[in-house]
Amino acid sequence: MNEPLAERLRPKSLEDYISQKHLVGDKGVLTKHIEQGIIPSMIFWGPPGTGKTTLANIIAEQSKRPFYTLSAINSGVKDVREVIEKAKNSGGLFTTKNPILFIDEIHRFSKSQQDSLLQAVEKGWVTLIGATTENPSFEVIPALLSRCQVYILNAFEKSDLEALLTRAIEKDEQLAKKNITLKETDALLRLSGGDARKLLNIFELIITSETAEEITVTNEFVLNKVQSNTVRYDKTGEQHYDIISAFIKSIRGSDPNGAVYWLARMIEGGEDVKFIARRLLILASEDIGNANPTALVIANNTFQAVSVIGNPESRIILSQCATYLACSPKSNAAYQAINSAQTLVKQTGDLSVPLEIRNAPTKLMKDLGYGDNYKYAHNYTNNFAEQEFLPKEITGEKFYDPGNNAREKAHRDFLKNRWKNKYNY
């Protein structure tokens, strides 16, 4: 049986690799590693069909290393240990040419499965390359994540996808049997959702199902050929990102009806309930924050609950949380505060901590003045004493500007009463 077009066209070298120039272009962060063959353990994070598996194969090929692969969908701890033993026997323990172990969908590995990789990565028995469509900060255990570099693969641009189609027409021997003119691409790109593998497989399907030797590819031609052209939720494609965006924006916009509709679309499409709950947890702080601190509590409880309960009952809990957050007052003041503070930190570098608020655990530190003149707030009226908590270079900088809602108006009044001489509240 013939290989699918996507497999036949899989690049074998960086020269043929399309996109991800920030990683493997002339100045890409991975380019020198690959050229020198000094490969760190790493996690590739990006949408489906963006070349994660292909890049892992190219790295192994160009660095001349043994290459082992596992899929987290159908592999267990036993499989991991067997591959590690093979890798130990085939690689040089004290060389930079240790084997590469590629694990697709590593976010599907349980904690125990990920734990089984730790020693092999730490000892250098294997170089781990994991691929995931989910945020590794949440899905990869900290001990393993700390031993890996995380590289983000971006969704393909329209020009990248069109270049793939052109390459398929020009390079693939089976497609070369027909005279193909690529006139319009919008329908192909929309149906594939930015997934290069899906794009090529759809393209092959419509070309091979056409009996004519001369084919002009138009949007109408594509839609007529693809019978399953109904709008449906694809949890691994573009709709995964578009619908979660619509869901979040509905809640931010205080529309519980829009929120529940998009929630239903995700649930019916089989979306991971923990993914939905995690986004609600972020939104509760980013978009509601101190306007209603209870929102974060409810969102956190929702995440815990759906993690225990699972489907189908989780839909009820998610609906309660989504409608509650949609009906909450909104504020992004806390979100803006940390953004402003981080921006200033990047601009000003490591400013010294004022002496009076430094820790003084030793006699030497006390003799040097650490902690001198610190005013213990509880010893003063209203548990407040005005003093400096910022480096002198940025004294008076205000990062938190309370929002225009009942709770944060109380924050503003509190701060205005306390900091009359320093901050403009």
Per residue in 153-163, pLDDT tens?
998 889 999 99
The mean pLDDT value of the chain amounts to 87
Judge if 162 and 146 occupy the same domain. no
Judge if 176 and 286 occupy the same domain. no
Q: Let me know: does 272 contact 286? Beta carbons within 8 Å.
A: no
Question: Which residues neighbour 139 within 8 Å (Cβ) at sequence distance 6 or greater?
Answer: 106, 107, 132
pLDDT reported for residue 231: 41
In a domain, 386, yes or no: yes
CA 280 to CA 260: how far, in whole Å? 13
DSSP letters spanning 265-304? HHHHTT--HHHHHHHHHHHIIIIIGGG-THHHHHHHHHHH
Q: Is the pLDDT of residue 296 over 70?
A: yes
* Tokens 């030497």, located at residue: 364
Q: Is the pLDDT of residue 233 over 70?
A: no
Considering 203, 225, 247, which residue would you say is the last residue of a domain? 225
pLDDT reported for residue 239: 64
Our measurement of the distance from residue 39's CA atom to the centroid of its chain's CA atoms, rounded to an integer in Å, reads: 22
Least confident range from 135-149, 226-240, 268-282: namely: 226-240
**Percent with pLDDT over 70 in the chain:** 94
Other beta carbons within 10 Å of 312: 9
Q: What are phi and psi of 364, to 5 degrees?
A: -60, -45
Judge if 137 and 202 occupy the same domain. no
Residue 288 belongs to domain with CATH number: 1.20.272.10
In a domain, 59, yes or no: yes
Considering 183, 204, 225, which residue would you say is the last residue of a domain? 225
Judge if 81 and 202 occupy the same domain. no
Judge if 178 and 197 occupy the same domain. yes
Judge if 288 and 352 occupy the same domain. no
Q: What are phi and psi of 102, to 5 degrees?
A: -100, 125
CA 193 to CA 269: how far, in whole Å? 15
In a domain, 68, yes or no: yes
In a domain, 8, yes or no: no
Q: Is the pLDDT of residue 238 over 80?
A: no
pLDDT reported for residue 268: 83
- 217: helix, strand or coil: strand
Q: Using pLDDT thresholds of 50, 70 and 90, give the confidence band for residue 229.
A: very low
Least confident range from 185-194, 224-233, 257-266: namely: 224-233
CA 114 to CA 388: how far, in whole Å? 46
Token output for 43: 């996690």
pLDDT reported for residue 234: 54
pLDDT reported for residue 91: 52
Q: β-strands 214-217, 179-182: how paired? A: parallel
In a domain, 9, yes or no: no
Per residue in 320-377, pLDDT tens?
999 999 999 999 999 999 999 999 998 887 888 888 888 887 888 778 888 888 999 9
Q: Using pLDDT thresholds of 50, 70 and 90, give the confidence band for residue 110.
A: confident
- Who has greater pLDDT, 209 or 102? 102
In a domain, 167, yes or no: yes
Average pLDDT over residues 205-210: 85
pTM over 0.85: no
In a domain, 335, yes or no: no
Judge if 202 and 322 occupy the same domain. no
- Who has greater pLDDT, 229 or 65? 65
Q: Using pLDDT thresholds of 50, 70 and 90, give the confidence band for residue 230.
A: very low
Q: Using pLDDT thresholds of 50, 70 and 90, give the confidence band for residue 298.
A: very high
pLDDT reported for residue 303: 95
Q: Using pLDDT thresholds of 50, 70 and 90, give the confidence band for residue 42.
A: very high
Q: Which domain holds residue 187?
A: 158-225
Count of domains observed in the chain:
4
DSSP letters spanning 129-176? EEEESS-HHHHS-HHHHTTSEEEEPPPPPHHHHHHHHHHHHHH-TTGG
Per residue in 46-96, pLDDT tens?
888 889 999 999 998 888 888 888 888 777 788 888 888 887 776 544 444
Judge if 144 and 86 occupy the same domain. yes
Judge if 134 and 169 occupy the same domain. no
* Tokens 């009942």, located at residue: 406
Residue 132 belongs to domain with CATH number: 3.40.50.300
Question: Which residues neighbour 199 within 8 Å (Cβ) at sequence distance 6 or greater?
Answer: 49, 161, 164, 165, 188, 189, 192
Residue 360 belongs to domain with CATH number: 1.10.3710
CA 272 to CA 208: how far, in whole Å? 35
- 70: helix, strand or coil: strand
Considering 152, 178, 212, which residue would you say is the last residue of a domain? 152
CA 167 to CA 334: how far, in whole Å? 48
Q: Using pLDDT thresholds of 50, 70 and 90, give the confidence band for residue 312.
A: confident
CA 239 to CA 233: how far, in whole Å? 6
Q: Let me know: does 325 contact 295? Beta carbons within 8 Å.
A: yes
Judge if 141 and 167 occupy the same domain. no
In a domain, 340, yes or no: no
pLDDT reported for residue 52: 93
pLDDT reported for residue 364: 81
Judge if 193 and 251 occupy the same domain. no
Residues in the chain: 425
CA 251 to CA 255: how far, in whole Å? 6
Judge if 183 and 211 occupy the same domain. yes
Average pLDDT over residues 23-39: 86
CA 402 to CA 411: how far, in whole Å? 7
Token output for 241: 């990102």
Average pLDDT over residues 382-394: 90
N-term to C-term CA, the chain: 72
Least confident range from 94-103, 289-298, 364-373, 391-400: namely: 94-103
Residue 191 belongs to domain with CATH number: 1.10.8
